């Protein structure tokens, strides 16, 4: 049998150390989960978000977790904390129908740019099969783009080429691949800390998902930078609406999260870029046009 990657304690350490993420979810859960509500969480991990909900007395909670090791850790945590109202259910949410039906769903199946962990499809399927579901945390995810200028990009680009060139020896020279490497640099979404970035154009909403109502995450959007010669990259970020006054955003101007900052570097002759994502994919795909 083929093994399936299971999130390690190292993966969970990164997410649990993201205080911005935890504080936002804690506030939204505190605001929305009321005593006696039936709660479900998809992708409970080690159980932290269900634990926030379990602080409300008598609230029955179903914590769904696909990865076996994570489910075991969550069960140990709930048992040690005496959160007896939390039941861990192993498997995919697609295969589980809950009884009693939940009134509220919590999920942090958010990818680096929003939809890559299938949060859109997961929430749509779950709500369709659980009609008593009244709210979802988060309720919406927007993916946005903003033309920027960042002095750091020059150094990062050179570091990228140096990773190949430092392995060259004799006639085996990676400069042979320089044209392909240059194209690769600008045709992939990259993740770094771009806190030095300057806005040089208006932000654009690439797509907005209403979780539970939007069926598929697939989209394509073209952005014209022809009149923004000073832009050397396009910053891509998401905004997750957790509650009326609670938002998580990966915009470079806000506290950095474990999702980091995403950008697409602009090629010398690039004026238009098409950003696309397809349901079930794990990456966004940029394509530049002169």
* Over residues 277-286, mean pLDDT: 96
* Beta carbons within 8 Å of 107's beta carbon, 6+ residues apart: 41, 42, 43, 119, 122, 123, 136, 137, 138
Question: What does the pLDDT look like over 29-77, one tens digit per residue?
Answer: 999 999 999 999 999 999 999 999 998 877 799 999 999 999 999 999 9
For domain 142-289, give the fold: 2.70.160
- pLDDT for 7 equals 62
- pLDDT for 6 equals 60
Assign 150 to helix, strand or coil: coil
Number of other CB atoms surrounding residue 72 within 10 Å: 15
What would the two tokens of residue 258 be? Answer: 């474990």
The predicted model scores a pTM of 0.94
- pLDDT for 49 equals 98
CB 93 within 8 A of CB 44: no
- pLDDT for 70 equals 93
Q: Where are the domains of the chain?
A: 9-108, 142-289
- Mean pLDDT, the chain, rounded, equals 95
* Beta carbons within 8 Å of 41's beta carbon, 6+ residues apart: 49, 50, 53, 61, 62, 63, 64, 105, 106, 107
Question: What does the pLDDT look like over 160-200, one tens digit per residue?
Answer: 999 999 999 999 999 999 999 999 999 999 999 999 999 99
2 pLDDT exceeds 60? no
- pLDDT for 59 equals 79
Number of other CB atoms surrounding residue 257 within 10 Å: 17
- pLDDT for 10 equals 83
Answer yes or no: same fold for 9-108 and 142-289. Answer: no
Closest to 118 (Cα-Cα) out of 5, 225, 42, 56: 42
* Over residues 270-278, mean pLDDT: 97
Angle between helices 68-80 and 9-16 (to 10 degrees): 60
* Over residues 235-244, mean pLDDT: 97
CATH placement of domain 9-108: 3.40.50.150
272 pLDDT exceeds 80? yes
- pLDDT for 102 equals 97
Question: What does the pLDDT look like over 211-225, one tens digit per residue?
Answer: 999 999 999 999 999
**pLDDT band at residue 11 under the 50/70/90 scheme:** confident
Q: Which residue is associated with the tokens 């409970």?
A: 44
């Amino acid at each position: 049998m083929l093994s399936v990657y299971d999130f390690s304690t190292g993966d969970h350490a990164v997410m649990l150390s993201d205080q911005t993420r935890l504080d936002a979810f804690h506030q939204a859960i505190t605001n929305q989960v009321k005593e006696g509500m039936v709660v479900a969480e998809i992708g409970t991990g080690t159980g932290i978000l269900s634990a926030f909900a379990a602080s409300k007395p008598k609230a029955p909670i179903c914590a769904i977790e696909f990865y076996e090791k994570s489910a075991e850790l969550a069960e140990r945590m709930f048992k040690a904390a005496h959160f007896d109202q939390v039941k861990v259910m192993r498997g995919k949410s697609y295969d589980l129908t809950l009884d009693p039906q939940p009134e509220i769903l919590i999920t942090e199946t958010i990818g680096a740019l929003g939809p890559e962990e299938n949060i859109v499809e997961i929430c749509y399927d779950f709500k369709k099969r659980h009609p008593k579901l009244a709210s979802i945390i988060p309720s919406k995810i927007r993916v946005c783009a903003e033309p920027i200028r960042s002095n750091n990009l020059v150094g990062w680009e050179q570091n990228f080429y140096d990773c190949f060139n430092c392995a060259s020896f004799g006639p085996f020279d990676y400069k042979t691949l320089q044209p392909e490497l240059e194209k690769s640099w600008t045709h992939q979404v990259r993740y770094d800390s771009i806190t030095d970035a300057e806005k040089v154009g208006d932000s654009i909403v690439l797509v907005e998902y209403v979780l539970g109502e939007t069926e598929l995450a697939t989209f394509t959007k073209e952005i014209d930078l022809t009149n923004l010669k000073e832009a050397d990259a396009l910053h891509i970020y998401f905004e997750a609406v957790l509650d009326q006054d609670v938002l998580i955003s990966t915009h470079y101007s806000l506290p950095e999260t474990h999702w980091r900052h995403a950008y697409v570097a602009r090629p010398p002759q690039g004026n238009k870029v098409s950003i696309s994502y397809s349901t079930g994919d794990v990456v966004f795909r940029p394509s530049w046009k002169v």
